[in-house]
Amino acid sequence: MLARINIFVAWFLIPQTLTMGWVAAIGRIVLELLGVNTYEGDIPGRIVGALLLLAAVYLVLHFRGSLPPEGKPEGKGFRFGHRLLLAANLLASLFVIFQFTHLLIDNRDLYLVLDGFTNAFGVWTMALWVVGFSFIYQSALPKK
């Protein structure tokens, strides 16, 4: 169960992290179509875009039955791959939370430090996702 949640969160955070501006723009378009005045990069547009992305990932999960990669819990590398995914999800969550709340930071120096750290988190996150997914996929391969 935790492995499925871990993969679901990863599939939500991957596009949220990599295409955050596009997700926010789609949310802003939806709000504008509903008659709400928004500004580019505003928090409500980001929230609506994230909710739409969450719904899209859930629909894929619902209609497909699972999200790739589908590993075998008894396979070699399954647990290690999920640990890497969990670390990546944690770092990506910190990055996404910062992007939602960065407008609330008044101190410019604090903002620059947090921005540098969260951007570094984004780079590490992508590497952890790739390696974690690789180990999970590898666990499903037949043993030779």
The pLDDT of residue 71 is 84
pLDDT digits (tens, 9 = 90+) for 26-66: 999 999 999 988 887 778 888 999 999 999 999 999 999 88
Return d(Cα 20, Cα 16) in angstroms, integer. 5
Q: Is residue 33 part of a domain?
A: yes
Q: Is residue 16 part of a domain?
A: yes
The pLDDT of residue 112 is 92
Asked whether residue 143 carries a pLDDT value surpassing 80, the answer given is no
Averaged pLDDT of the chain: 89
Q: Is residue 103 part of a domain?
A: yes
More confident residue, 117 or 53: 53
Return d(Cα 84, Cα 139) in angstroms, integer. 14
pLDDT digits (tens, 9 = 90+) for 16-26: 988 888 998 99
Q: Is residue 110 part of a domain?
A: yes
Does residue 27 contact residue 54 with C-beta atoms inside 8 Å? Answer: no
Instruction: Count structural domains, the chain.
Output: 1
Q: Is residue 10 part of a domain?
A: yes
Whole-prediction pTM value? 0.86
Specify burial of residue 74 (Cβ count, 10 A radius: 0-12, 13-18, 19+).
Answer: exposed
| Segments forming the whole domain that contains residue 39 | 2-139
Q: Is residue 144 part of a domain?
A: no
Q: Is residue 112 part of a domain?
A: yes
- Token pair 């871990």 in the structure block, residue: 6
